Amino acid sequence: MLPLISCKDMALPAPTDNDRRADDQRIRDGLGLHPLTIPLGVLRDTPHTLRGRERVSCVVGRDAAGFRLVDIGSRRSCSVALDIGTTNLVATLCDNVAGNDLLTVQAENPQIAFGSDILTRLHHAMSGRAGELSGTLITGINRLIARLCSEAGFEPKDVHGLTVAGNTVMSHFFLGLDVSTIPVDPFVPVTRTPGFFTASELGLDIHPRAAVYVFPNAGSYVGGDIVAGILASGLASSDETSVLIDVGTNAEVAIGNRDWILVGAGAAGPALEEGISLIGRRARKGIIYDVSITGEDVRCSTFDNAPPEGICGSGMVSLLHELYASGIVDKSGSLRAGARHVTERNGEQSFRIDCSGGEDLAITQSELSNFMKSKAAMFTLLLVLTRAVGVGFKDIRRVYVAGALGTGIDVRKAAGIGMLPGWEPGIITPLGNASLAGARLLLKNGDLIKEIDSISERITYKHMHDDPEFMKEFLGAVFIPHTDLSLLKV
């Protein structure tokens, strides 16, 4: 198992009358990696770097053909795993010599200046501003990596590798590729298998010869982020059938095993990420992940027990469960006028989450209704996908939960509101940012390239946006927990 970017400090015998191997051959023999491409830039540096030295450090990356010598003579080396989300960019820096992850940082995707949703950005791109959208993204990534390097004590030129997971539109923007065919029937991207590039051809301010790998997609609706998430879950290498639930700006579900993988994405719009409700936030210190309502009393649990500043996806699941259990919302998710802590604000009902010592946080009816749609979409996705492959909920051995829902979710409450079937908590594995985790895994083991290709080839996509069965089942799922309780059984 060799990392995607490996560093080797090796002895290099000087040429003699009995050893007239060319400089590049001595390096090849020393590395023993085949096939190895040595770029012209490295060849040009080689004699100066070797002269008078008995040892040389080599940084070896990969390309489509095999291995590629990224640099020689460099003293430090790191790599970055990057998740390009529609809303956020998240990046982890890994020390290539020590082999450990050092730091993860996050920033807003600066394309948000062109619109928070992907369709608006596509519209801008198709109106002649594609270059701006790509340029803005690259600038934002350069800024994020510069910050990451600065905080971790590296120089951007020390970054010799970059793995990139993003949805198909984000990957195309990243590569400067045309996006105009992606949202238009028959939804065909320029490429499904981007593979390897060098930093210089992408305008990235890292080592110009750094190996940049972009995860393959499985079509316009199943991006490299999902492929990376499936890799991180391990779903695709198991004999048993598992489910991966990823809730980000969109809700996506993958079901499968080592033989087949079916992916569906939710049509019911935004789910649980920050930006959806006014107080919605990603899981971090001070964010509510659990709520309990007893009588008049509303208690919130926050990460690190800090004063509450917002609520994450798991907190929303818990909140809706408690609101329903205490009769504050009805089966349809509507706040009852006059119930405890319910007041009218700006012409709509609103529930005030009184957290001792914290701010006065509130959630509106329309935010609750959006969440009802999200939870309904999630369950319907699970129902329709398992049904499509003839698998019952009871046959699922493991459920990986990634994204906004992943951290701190109370599985029984999720089942209680009909968002998940009644799975035992023990089979649930939280993954956090699975897309980033997949990109990080590849940094640790470059041999995963084959597994990644295999995953993207095994994926079948079930289009839900205009699926009559999905729409029919969805209508029963926008109630708490469901109009047909038998469907929730495991």
Q: Which is nearer to a second copy, 221 or 324 (CB)?
A: 221
Q: Applying CB under 8 A, which part among 63-71, 99-107, 373-381, 479-487 lies near a second copy?
A: 63-71
48 counts as binding a second copy under rule CB under 8 A: yes
176 counts as binding a second copy under rule CB under 8 A: yes
Q: Which is nearer to a second copy, 199 or 442 (CB)?
A: 199
* CA–CA separation, 480 and 416 (whole Å): 8
User: From the CB of 25, what's the least distance to a second copy, in Å?
Assistant: 6
Question: By rule CB under 8 A, what string of x and - marks binding of each residue 64-93 to a second copy?
Answer: xxx---------------------------
468 counts as binding a second copy under rule CB under 8 A: no
Among 67, 197, 351, 423, binds a second copy (CB under 8 A): 197
Contact by Cβ (8 Å): 379, 373: no
User: From the CB of 165, what's the least distance to a second copy, in Å?
Assistant: 18
Q: Which is nearer to a second copy, 221 or 400 (CB)?
A: 221
Q: Applying CB under 8 A, which part among 194-202, 249-257, 290-298, 404-412 lies near a second copy?
A: 194-202
| Local structure of 352: helix, strand or coil | strand
- The torsion region of residue 228 among left (phi > 0), alpha (psi -120 to 50) and beta comes to alpha
Contact by Cβ (8 Å): 434, 244: yes
Q: Which is nearer to a second copy, 186 or 295 (CB)?
A: 186
Q: Applying CB under 8 A, which part among 175-183, 266-274, 319-327, 356-364 lies near a second copy?
A: 175-183
Helix 168-175 / helix 130-152 crossing angle, nearest 10 deg: 90
Contact by Cβ (8 Å): 303, 284: yes
Q: Which one, of 260, 327, 330, lies nearest residue 294 by Cα?
A: 327
Among 10, 31, 43, 449, binds a second copy (CB under 8 A): 43
17 counts as binding a second copy under rule CB under 8 A: yes
Q: Applying CB under 8 A, which part among 16-24, 293-301, 320-328, 432-440 lies near a second copy?
A: 16-24
40 counts as binding a second copy under rule CB under 8 A: yes
Q: Applying CB under 8 A, which part among 76-84, 99-107, 136-144, 169-177 lies near a second copy?
A: 169-177
Among 140, 189, 308, 481, binds a second copy (CB under 8 A): 189
* CA–CA separation, 30 and 38 (whole Å): 13
Binding-site residue total for a second copy (CB under 8 A)? Answer: 44
- Report which secondary-structure segment, H or E, holds 450: helix 448-458
Among 201, 344, 447, 457, binds a second copy (CB under 8 A): 201
Q: Going by DSSP bridges, is the β-strand pair 101-108/66-72 parallel, antiparallel, or unpaired?
A: unpaired
Contact by Cβ (8 Å): 171, 138: no
Q: Which is nearer to a second copy, 43 or 103 (CB)?
A: 43
Q: Applying CB under 8 A, which part among 78-86, 116-124, 192-200, 443-451 lies near a second copy?
A: 192-200
296 counts as binding a second copy under rule CB under 8 A: no
User: From the CB of 124, what's the least distance to a second copy, in Å?
Assistant: 17
181 counts as binding a second copy under rule CB under 8 A: yes
* CA–CA separation, 54 and 57 (whole Å): 10
Among 32, 47, 357, 468, binds a second copy (CB under 8 A): 47
* CA–CA separation, 172 and 326 (whole Å): 47
* CA–CA separation, 256 and 438 (whole Å): 17
* CA–CA separation, 377 and 249 (whole Å): 13
Q: What is the DSSP track for 53-97?
A: -SEEEEEEEEETTEEEEEEES-S--EEEEEEE-SSEEEEEEEETT
What 8-state DSSP symbol labels residue 405? Answer: T
Q: Going by DSSP bridges, is the β-strand pair 360-364/398-403 parallel, antiparallel, or unpaired?
A: unpaired
Q: Residues in the site for a second copy, rule: CB under 8 A?
A: 15-17, 19-25, 35, 37-38, 40-41, 43-44, 46-48, 63-66, 175-178, 180-181, 185-194, 197, 201-202, 219
